[in-house]
Amino acid sequence: MDLMGMMGKLKETQQKIEDTKKRLDTVLIDEQSADGLLKITLTANRKVTAISIDDSLLEDKEQLEDYLIVTLNKAIEKATGVNERELDAVAKMDMPMIPGMDNLFK
What does the pLDDT look like over 19-35, one tens digit per residue?
A: 999 999 999 999 999 99
Question: pTM of the prediction?
Answer: 0.74
Residue-wise DSSP of the chain: --HHHHHHHHHHHHHHHHHHHHHHTT-EEEEE-TTSSEEEEEETTS-EEEEEE-GGGGG-HHHHHHHHHHHHHHHHHHHHHHHHHHHHHHHHHS----TT-TTTT-
Answer with the residue of higher pLDDT: 80 or 89. 80
Residue 99 in domain: no
Residue 104 in domain: no
Residue 106 in domain: no
Residue 1 in domain: no
The boundaries of the domain holding residue 35 are: 21-92
Do the Cβ atoms of 28 and 49 come closer than 8 Å? yes
